[in-house]
Amino acid sequence: MSNPSLLILPGDGIGPEVMAEVRKVIDWFGAKRDMAFDVSEDLVGGCAYDAHGTPLTDETMAKAQEVDAVLLGAVGGPKYDTLDFSVKPERGLLRLRKEMDLYANLRPAQCFDALADFSSLKKDVVAGLDIMIIRELTSGVYFGEPRGVFKEGNERVGINTQRYTESEIARVARSAFELARKRGNKVCSMEKANVMESGVLWRDVVQEIHDAEYPDVELSHMYADAGAMQLTRWPKQFDVIVTDNLFGDLLSDLAAMLTGSLGMLPSASLGAPMANGRPKALYEPVHGSAPDIAGTGKANPIACILSFAMALRYSFDKGDEATRLEEAVNAVLADGLRTADLLGEDGVQPVSTAEMGDAIVAKLDASL
């Protein structure tokens, strides 16, 4: 039986640095847990543009379609700000999501006990927080047509179209209900049905899927702006939140900062099952390429490492090993190790990107 395959796309900025620490973890699982992966590596984003004149080559896209999972670092940077929109680094990531049909974006917001004081909210509001936002990823206003900037009379007008079909809503709703059954069995669907027809359809379809297929899961509906308010008031009232592409983008970033640092948060983008029964999948940290600290050793690799933990759980059916890795991260934080983005206590010296990766591998050793 062949090893599971993994395509690594480090990308730009701090992407290669944090991905180097993930490689240490992958190597550890191969050496100590008899979990070898067939790993290949390629370019995406600005570095792909520099080498090939495109943020994602057809060859790399084909590889992504064939492997069991893709692990991406980050894309973009000010160097590429003046490029035409069609070849900006972010277009490489959007192409991966669209052509792999990765319609369900899972973004957990989990507050580790050792970092509860880093949130801008009171400790009792965020301590123990563990919620999941599922964002529809391949439709909605980011992809709808018509779109563009046009001349209308004597002025320009910018147009983007919010568009959803029943089937697009239904499949991401099913993802939310299935995940909720493995967690707190509770889903809150968020839209703007009070002012948007697409929101009316969204609410109707989610309710229909619930009533017909998941009546055992508790379902509530909330307007997305009220949801943003409730996330900052008492986020622990939620378990799984499902929402559209635009609102999911906004709400998941808001939820991310409840935990204190974007450097801590992973994500998964899942699609339809392949022939082997595994979903097509891309895993990536929530943070960006952070070009201001690239090459300095200050980047926090934890979000990227936890993205690999999500791959273990959702692509490779290794939930116990994913938990092992998450507990190793928690143990390192409990010991007081901090990268520069997590400094808050006086007198605490930051560890480097590589030192944090080494410490997590040491905790994995200790778990045996």
Kindly state whether residues 254 and 134 are assigned to the same domain. Answer: yes
Task: Choose one of 237, 258, 279: the last residue of a domain.
Answer: 258
Q: What's residue 279's pLDDT?
A: 87
- Does the pLDDT of residue 346 top 70, yes or no? no
CATH for 208 = 3.40.718.10
- Does the pLDDT of residue 236 top 70, yes or no? yes
Is residue 5 a part of any domain in this protein? yes
Kindly state whether residues 83 and 199 are assigned to the same domain. Answer: no
Q: What's residue 275's pLDDT?
A: 77
Is residue 113 a part of any domain in this protein? no
Is residue 340 a part of any domain in this protein? yes
Distances (CA, A) of 266 to 105, 196, 333: 11, 31, 16
Is residue 122 a part of any domain in this protein? no
What is the distance, to the nearest Å, from the Cα of residue 233 to the centroid of all Cα atoms in its chain?
A: 23
CA separation for the pair 123, 214 (Å, rounded): 34
Tally of CB atoms within 10 A around 359: 18
Kindly state whether residues 67 and 87 are assigned to the same domain. Answer: yes
**Contact (CB, 8 A) for 112 and 99:** no
Kindly state whether residues 299 and 229 are assigned to the same domain. Answer: no
Task: Choose one of 215, 232, 258: the last residue of a domain.
Answer: 258
Q: Is 63 assigned a catalytic role?
A: no
- Does the pLDDT of residue 348 top 80, yes or no? no
pLDDT tens for each residue of 175-192: 999 999 989 999 999 999
Is residue 123 a part of any domain in this protein? no
Task: Choose one of 232, 258, 284: the last residue of a domain.
Answer: 258
- Does the pLDDT of residue 314 top 60, yes or no? yes
Kindly state whether residues 205 and 167 are assigned to the same domain. Answer: yes
CA separation for the pair 41, 244 (Å, rounded): 31
Q: Would you place residue 213 in the very low, low, confident or very high pLDDT band (cuts 50, 70, 90)?
A: very high
Containing structural domain, residue 88: 1-108+265-368
Kindly state whether residues 43 and 95 are assigned to the same domain. Answer: yes
CA separation for the pair 172, 224 (Å, rounded): 17
Catalytic residue among 88, 192, 280, 363: 192
What is the number of structural domains in the chain? 2
Catalytic residue among 249, 314, 318, 363: 249
Q: What's residue 154's pLDDT?
A: 96
Kindly state whether residues 34 and 137 are assigned to the same domain. Answer: no
Q: Closest Cα to residue 132, out of 235, 282, 261?
A: 235
Phi, psi of 24 (to 5 degrees): -60, -40
Is residue 314 a part of any domain in this protein? yes
Tokens 């040491």 appear where? 362
Q: Is 249 assigned a catalytic role?
A: yes
Q: Is 192 assigned a catalytic role?
A: yes
Q: Is 142 assigned a catalytic role?
A: yes
Catalytic residue among 49, 80, 103, 142: 142
CA separation for the pair 80, 285 (Å, rounded): 21
Catalytic residue among 27, 130, 225, 358: 225
**Contact (CB, 8 A) for 300 and 18:** yes
Is residue 170 a part of any domain in this protein? yes
Q: Is 358 assigned a catalytic role?
A: no
Kindly state whether residues 239 and 269 are assigned to the same domain. Answer: no
Q: Would you place residue 112 in the very low, low, confident or very high pLDDT band (cuts 50, 70, 90)?
A: confident
Residue 150 token pair: 């046009």
pLDDT tens for each residue of 58-82: 999 999 999 999 999 999 999 999 9
Kindly state whether residues 249 and 279 are assigned to the same domain. Answer: no
- Does the pLDDT of residue 2 top 80, yes or no? yes
Is residue 319 a part of any domain in this protein? yes
Kindly state whether residues 289 and 345 are assigned to the same domain. Answer: yes
Kindly state whether residues 183 and 243 are assigned to the same domain. Answer: yes
pLDDT tens for each residue of 120-169: 788 888 888 899 999 999 999 998 999 999 999 999 999 999 999 999 99
Catalytic residue among 50, 101, 130, 253: 253
Kindly state whether residues 276 and 344 are assigned to the same domain. Answer: yes
